[in-house]
Amino acid sequence: MIEAELNEKRDRIIVRFSFSRSVLDRVKSIPGRKYVDPEHGGPYWTIPADMISARALRSKFDGEVRWGPNVLAWGREQRDREEHITELAHATDHPLDQLKIATKLPKLAEWMRGYQRADTAFLGQVSALNANEQGLGKTAELIAAVFEADLEEGPQLVMAPVTSIEVVWQYELERWQPFPVLAAEDPREREKNIKEAARLYAAGEPFWLVVNAGMVRYNAIKGWDEYKEKIVEVGVEPKYEEFFTIKWNTASIDEFHKVGLNNQKTLAARALYALDTKRRYGASGTPFGGVPKKLFGPLKFIAPKEHTSYWRWAETWLEVTEVDIGRGRKAKEVGGIQKGKEEAFYRHHSKYMVRHLKSEVLPQLPPKQYVDVWCTMSAKQKKQYETFAKEAEVRIDEYNLTATGILAEYARLKVLASAYCEVEGKMRRCKNCKGTGFARDVPCEACGGEGVSEALKLKPTFDCAQLPYLMERLSGAGIDPEDPSGEACAVVGSESLEIIDMVHRYLNEQGIKAEKITGNTVKPGERKRLVQAFQAGGADAPRVMCLSTLAGGVAITLDRADTVHVLTETWVPDDQEQLIDRIHRASRIHQVTAYFYRTKSTLHEYIWEVNQDKAFVNKDILDLRRQGFRAIREKGAK
């Protein structure tokens, strides 16, 4: 017989048994188990005090466990809370008169749809991830959640992409809630806001501070390791200590999949985990990008006590195998979800996450239409592409364009597959994430990194495989130089800044007024002005908005457009969905068509194949399993 009882701290379950090899092997198979030797009060084993471990113990020893009274009481308490939270997470409506925001923020409460009221009830009780599909009002829900949780009287921290600091967060906060809002796109103004936040905190006044996540990251302190004879990290220090001296009521990360939480060892992740907060939220319509292991970082941020060990979590849910890395050394490789655990994976994590699709909560909104457009290179472009693909080098004017690694080669090939290129000169490249095109001393839009190096800057020419196809579809949609006063408009997106610059230049030369938002759009208020001008329409409004996928593909609303044209894709299908959802939003009922322009017989085809596999994982785990689970619960309730 196995005896199980809860320890005094209620953080471990003590497991005692008479020695048996069979019993010992089964206990050792439970992730997070630890042996306590006689010198420290043993001998016995312990497992984490959570429902995963308790259920694992029960399944390993069906009918053989004698549960102590304190474990049984704890288990009932945990089960009841889990069922209550899970019920809220799957609700699609909630009575308005049962929400605190009905009296605290009546205008917002009355504006909300049923699913948003349900989400607010859920988020008001727990730290959680808001994984609703893009365009369903996640920002308003997070604002409401702070008031629903009775945490509004204090400091609130929001970390968001620079593109959404003013356009989305400042606008929504000033629209719905009464407390001061410190938000600015200009880096210098953001620094002033941090100082002002410290002053307001010292005075005991409530406020909202909105910054980009890169400002919260640590800086490494370097020192010389005499044994290894190299410079190593000996410690870390905050870039701005105010983030860590203020005790935040809430800390929210908008687009959390882009802030570096995937790797717990990064300076960004370590800083985010270290924030002193009462409640934490994350928002992203694409929470793990088709790679389930990426979910752990956000989970650790919002629920650190339940997610102390990445390997324990991975061994519980994912395929973990040992691989030989040479010289007798082994390494662990983490794959997808263990076969047969897909349903359990979703059920367990649903209590940390709320998710709705537009098709579920807005059935009147037409579904997105996807159109693949396969393009053909000119002979000149094809020769340049094939030379670089074969030799990882090609001569362009007086320059030798080379690639020093497979990722660099792929980045070049994507651009060369789109257009014949010349070399314009040198560009700035972020050392952290390798993003390109950033102005000197301006943090990288993607990761907040400041260190940059220089590399050759390609200049795509109008000898572009995709331009004729793009112009044909823009003309067909009513965007034509012959009709400059037309109302039709569109969004053109690409991962490549060079391609965006080229298309922006070409459209304006053709008489089609176009604007662009990229990582180089850093002039204070410029993004806000461009978005407002595009949305307002009229004779002077731009007909086409050109967006870089990473800088312009999040948070902003451009739903005046009916079509999105994707010219080069990232390796993450979610990035393209984020881009498309700039125009497919709950705020406007219209048909949205997304055109994907891919060049035949190039790297574009391979990226398309890889992204199809990742998109299937997203659909299977996030949506199909969730919809099935919700249907079962609704049927049981009836």
Measuring CA to CA, which residue among 171, 103, 162, 161 is closest to residue 137? Answer: 171
Q: Whole-number mean pLDDT of the chain?
A: 86
Residues composing the chain: 638
pLDDT of residue 513: 92
Judged by DSSP in three states, 260 sits in: coil
pLDDT in tens, 5-29: 999 888 899 999 998 899 999 999 8
Q: What local confidence, expressed as pLDDT, does residue 216 receive?
A: 94
Predicted confidence (pLDDT) per residue in 585-615, tens digit: 877 888 889 999 999 999 999 999 888 887 7
CA separation for the pair 297, 310 (Å, rounded)? 8
Q: How many CB atoms lie within 10 A of CB 389?
A: 17
- Rounded to 10 degrees, the C-alpha dihedral 569/213/356/373 comes to -10
**pLDDT, mean of residues 427-448:** 57
Of 363 and 6, the structure prediction assigns the larger pLDDT to: 6
603 and 610 Cβ atoms separated by less than 8 Å: no
- Provide the percentage of residues in the chain whose pLDDT is more than 90: 48
Compute the distance between CA of residue 310 and CA of residue 315 in angstroms, rounded to an integer: 9
pLDDT of residue 627: 60
CB-based contacts of 340, cutoff 8 Å, min separation 6: none
Structure tokens at 289: 């990008």
* pLDDT value at residue 622: 66
* Chain position carrying tokens 């997470």: 89
Peptide bond into 43 cis (omega under 30): yes
Q: Are 573 and 481 in contact (CB under 8 A)?
A: no
On the question of pLDDT at 402 being above 60, the answer is yes
Buried b / exposed e over 229-268, threshold 16 CB at 10 Å, is eeeeeeeeebbbebbbebebbbbbbbbbbbbbbbeeebbb
452 token code pair: 């940059």
Q: Name the token pair of 69.
A: 């009274």
Q: How far apart are CA 598 and CA 611, in angstroms?
A: 13
568 contacts 604 by C-beta, under 8 angstroms = yes
User: pTM (2 decimals)?
Assistant: 0.72
> What is the mean pLDDT of the segment spanning 282-311?
88
Over residues 199-213, the pLDDT tens digits come to: 999 999 999 999 999
Are the beta carbons of 569 and 607 closer than 8 angstroms? yes
- For residues 594 and 563, the answer to whether their CB atoms sit within 8 Å is yes
Pairing assessment for the beta strands 128-130 and 353-354 based on DSSP bridges: parallel
Please, which pLDDT band fits residue 438 given cuts at 50, 70 and 90? very low
Ramachandran category for residue 326: left, alpha or beta (phi over 0 → left; psi -120 to 50 → alpha): left
CB-based burial, 49-85: b 16+ in 10 Å, e otherwise: bbbbbbebbbebbeeebebeeebeebbeeeeeeeeeb
Q: Which CATH architecture has domain 92-287?
A: 3-Layer(aba) Sandwich (3.40)
Contact between 142 and 252 under an 8 Å Cβ cutoff? The reply is yes
* Residue whose token pair is 């407390």: 179
pLDDT grade, residue 564 (50/70/90)? very high
Architecture label for domain 369-601? 3-Layer(aba) Sandwich (3.40)
Q: Say whether 332 sits in a helix, a strand or coil.
A: strand
Query: Which tokens is 332 given?
Result: 């662990």
Q: Read off the pLDDT of each residue in 574-590 and give the average, rounded to a whole number.
A: 84
Residue the block writes with tokens 């389930």: 292
CA–CA distance, 232 with 275 (Å, rounded to integer): 25
Counting residues of the chain whose pLDDT is more than 70, the rounded percentage is: 90
Q: For residues 567 and 471, give the distance between their C-alpha atoms in angstroms, rounded to a whole number.
A: 12
Cα dihedral sign for 153, 123, 119, 585? Answer: positive
pLDDT, tens only, 141-183? 999 999 999 999 999 999 998 878 888 899 999 999 999 999 9
| Nearest residue to 361 (alpha-carbon basis) of 583, 135, 553 | 135
Question: Could you give the count of Cα atoms lying within 13 Å of 194 in the half-sphere of its Cβ?
Answer: 20
User: Is pLDDT at 440 greater than 70 in this prediction?
Assistant: no
pLDDT in tens, 244-293: 999 999 999 998 988 888 888 889 999 999 999 999 999 998 887 778 89
- The residues, ordered by sequence, that sit 6+ positions from 514 with a Cβ below 8 Å of its Cβ are 492, 503, 504, 507, 508, 542, 543, 544, 545, 546
